[in-house]
Amino acid sequence: MEHAAANGSCCNGNGAAVASASSPPPPPHVAMLATPGMGHLIPLAELAKRLASRHGVTTTLITFASTASATQRAFLSSLPSTISSLSLPPVDLSDLPRGAAIETLMSEECLRLVPALTSLLLDLKKTTTRLVAFVADLFGADSLDAAAAAGVERRYIFFPTNLHVLTLILSLPELDATVAGEFRDLAEPLRLPGCVGIPGEDILMPLQDKTNPAYKWMVHHGRKYGEAEAILVNSFDAVEPGPAKVLRQPAPGRPAVYPIGPLIQAGKEEDASSPSPCVEWLDRQPEKSVIFVSFGSGGALPAEQMRELALGLELSGQRFLWVVRSPSDEGTVNENYYDAQSKKDPFAYLPEGFIERTKDVGLVVPSWAPQIKVLAHRATGGFLTHCGWNSVLESLVYGVPMVAWPLFAEQRQNAVMLSEGIGAAIRVPESKGREKIAATVRELMEGEGKGAAVRAKVAELQKAAAEGLKEGGAAAAALAEVVEKWTAGEKN
């Protein structure tokens, strides 16, 4: 479903929108490109909502028809009338090797759709007199060429993850030229300005094999980001004070960086006629007694790790709410990346008798749970997470301390930053045996070891996130500055 952005304008004989003498000028309009995956689309949509509610800016969200899912279509249809949606046509990727990395697929698709995107933006300019900017997400750097060809002067990158990862990607062209061998073989952690040292094996997954096209694409994006006028980042100073300070300083060849987060999806109002079984179950649990376990919409554990997690939760003796998905033998991005629903019955992979033995303390749900409602619930006291950045921000906004169990993409790097850097999570030991899983869960939930300090730090970050988003707060001020540049006709 597509929404028409209300702009209070009419069209001239050439189809261009013009304001009548008596009507107010149309609102400023922004085109945003979301590369495939709900984890990319949701924060862009939240940015569009914030632009509308605080600054009167309307938006067209541009998506990819080839990866549209029922989940994505339902999400787009639920957006307010200030946000319209258009999709780019399917593109042939059959020449790429079977098993190509997801980063390669997204980057190739974006590159091949530059002509189609150029045409779309030219058409969009004919229907709005105030297309003030184009914003592409992290894998859409080549789309900046389409915006330039269409005559859109202000071209931005929206980076949905954090400042640590952005610093790494901006540094990649130099690192590619100076670091011999593989990052995973580095003898010492990689130390970038302002950032927590990242052990080689925890560096961004697409960088772990320099012979893989995904690596070359990431280096390409690092160069291409330099062509943007600015980069908007879904993070905030308190969670990453080091890189925030460094990136705020002007540097030759580097765009201005604006931390405008946290941008998270708002929870929907509960339907009284059909309340969520998860919420009903949580209503019956003591305050802060439940650990929520979820690996996001694109992640799944190998079958053996899934079994160890089940037995570890049971051994911990803690109350738990676990969103179970059918296993992926690789433990990486699986067939469900573009949709939230498991294709197989995930319960079939749980240890025999597990659900029956834990029925008094645990609830296991297939594929999906209303994550915002769960994290916001008084009974939720911890979050065992894959460390996808959207989930991390949601946990911080609702003040829920984390157990880090990263899977792919930038998640291992996020886990290091959260556990070793800011102290907002406890990381599950690499062996991931049931005893260590149980011990880590107990440490967080019972305040043992690092547990108490993690809880205190998350409470501090929750307050900082809220303060930054208030009128006059750092994140609100950063976004206001960007909009002022757009509407004043300035350039960075």
Q: Which residues form the catalytic set?
A: 40, 137
Q: Which tokens hold the place of 393? A: 């921000």
Closest-CA residue to 224 (of 266, 264, 170): 170
Give the number of residues written for the chain: 492
Residue linked to tokens 């006629």 = 273
Q: Are 339 and 70 in contact (CB under 8 A)?
A: yes
Helix axes of 38-55 and 70-77: crossing angle, nearest 10 degrees:
0
d(CA 272, CA 270): 6
Helix (H) or strand (E) holding 166: helix 163-178
d(CA 22, CA 225): 42
Q: Which tokens hold the place of 336? A: 């469900």
User: Could you give the 3-state DSSP secondary structure of residue 248?
Assistant: helix
Listing DSSP states for 285-327 in one string gives SPTT-EEEEE--SS----HHHHHHHHHHHHHHT-EEEEEE---
- For residue 19, the tally of other CB atoms under 10 A from its CB is 15
User: Could you give the 3-state DSSP secondary structure of residue 66?
Assistant: helix
Helices (H) and strands (E) counted in the chain, each on its own, are 17, 15
